[in-house]
Amino acid sequence: MRSRRPAAVGRHDFGPFSPDNVGFVLLTCPTDVPPSATTSPALPTETSALADRIEDLLPQTQCTKCGYPACRPYAEAIAEGRAGHNQCPPGGAEGIARLAQLLGKPVIPLNPVHGVEQPRLLAVIDEQVCIGCTLCIQACPVDAIVGAAKQMHTVVDDLCTGCELCVAPCPVDCIALVEATPGRSGWQAWSQQQADAARARHDWRNTRLKRDKQENDDRLAAKAAAKLKEVEAAAAGTPEEQAELARKKAIIQAAMERARLKKLEATQEQDRS
């Protein structure tokens, strides 16, 4: 882990946030995200309720260091007895103690397999080196990075959870991690208000990504259906033209069937999870 801030990069003071600035619409994401966006429908009611209480005690950095893709899956794994309550480095010793009290279990040390407790980190992008690839934006679980393709990116300091997930995807190694809370770690470096805000942004991001994917799938399906109608309506004179139309029709129908099966498999997988 790099500990120095890149040269020629300063912290950003964006001043008052404007609703007209699309980069900061992220700050006003909905907090009433449907439970289905973050909760596994397969959990029994009692287990799901326990997972809710566990999730409330997690710092919501969404760092995946616990071995799960986000804080909610980790909470569900604890509730089901599939994971220990000492796998969250950002929560640190205090986080383990909170979970132990809720679960009626002993306070145990943080499992070193998942990392160490340390001051909260802040991602800093060297804007002189950034090539605008958007890979860090795609990797950030809480929409804390602002930018566009082939344009300079920057981290909104107040939104960064220090998850470190943006560092590895960067192809030009222009992201450094600096200590944001020297001398303070775990819950001493992270407030409940910050955790709640990060959770809301993460949940909204998941909802947005699912919505965008569905809209894109619908557009592709409509385009394929329109193309099929066009092919079916086309008049073919010679045997060669008729064969070509039949070939095009078969290709489109096959593509539509693959899309239908893929959507069905995704729905079934979601129902099983």
pLDDT in the model for residue 225: 79
pLDDT digits (tens, 9 = 90+) for 164-177: 999 999 999 999 99
Amino acid at 21: N
Q: Is this prediction's pTM over 0.75? A: no
pLDDT digits (tens, 9 = 90+) for 48-90: 999 999 999 999 999 999 999 999 999 999 999 999 999 999 9
Residues of the chain with pLDDT under 70: 1-43, 235-236, 267, 269-273
pLDDT in the model for residue 195: 97
pLDDT in the model for residue 45: 86
pLDDT in the model for residue 251: 83
pLDDT in the model for residue 20: 32
pLDDT in the model for residue 42: 57
